[in-house]
Amino acid sequence: MTDFAKLACPSCGATLNVPDNVDRFACSYCATELVAQRDEGVLTISPIVDALKEVQAGVDKTASELAIKRFREDLRELTLTRQRVFSDYERCARAIADREAETRETREKARKAALIGLIQLVVAILLFVVVANVVGRMHLRLFRAIGLLGGVVLLCWALFSAWKMVSQYVRSKARDRGVPTDLVQERDEAHKELTRLEAEIGGKNQELEKHLKIVSS
């Protein structure tokens, strides 16, 4: 013998006789599809749409829990990758800064060497002219010879000093290689990779927040 339970339709409020062996039926008054749910002897009925929504909500929460685990693993890997790329970027940036400082120092030394050599050459020529004029006015041949010899020695010293300074300038310019292009390229590539990783991490964090809200709702 089939037992019946009297329950009100959740849609129209009409009293319905619900058999104990039926799980899905339609209201005889408003034709709403209903589903019967039994929990520890307690019978409840609800529109099948609401029941499906509850099932879908449970499915969504389960999917979100799996997505949360996957996103957290991805974020952990991306964070480690970002740390490695950032270390490479800092290494390249420090190397470039050191090379630029070395280049500035080398160029400054070269400029000073060239300036000193030029000044020494000009001073020596002026002194040689002065000595030559003084020697030309001397009457004694001995004094003339000594003065001329001193002027020649002075000019030779100036020429040697100028040659030495110019050689130092040339060597400095030869050592002035600037910043290697491959190092600059490596730094720029690391910067681009950092920008991409930060954007990806930001997007995954947003997705993670959405799934956390679904699970907590």
Give the model confidence (pLDDT) of 146-163 as tens digits.
556 666 676 677 677 667
Count CB-CB contacts under 10 A for residue 13: 10
Residue ranges per domain, the chain? 4-40, 52-216
Spatial CA neighbour of 148 closest among 134, 159, 160: 134
Q: pLDDT at position 139, please?
A: 54
Q: How far is CA 157 from CA 110, 160, 161, in A?
A: 21, 5, 6
Q: Find out whether 47 and 37 touch, Cβ atoms under 8 Å.
A: no
Global pTM reads 0.51
In the chain, pLDDT over 70 holds for what percent of residues? 69
Beta-bridged to residue 58, according to DSSP, are none
Within the chain, which residues score under 70 in pLDDT? Answer: 1-3, 48-60, 117, 124, 127-152, 154-155, 158, 161-162, 165-179, 217
Q: Give the pLDDT score at 162.
A: 67
Q: What is the pLDDT of residue 109?
A: 74
Query: Rounded to the nearest 10 degrees, how much is the dihedral formed by the CA atoms of 184, 190, 196, 198?
Result: -120
| pLDDT at residue 84, rounded to an integer | 93
Beta bridge partners of 18: 5
pLDDT for res 28: 76
Percentage of the chain modeled with pLDDT above 90: 11
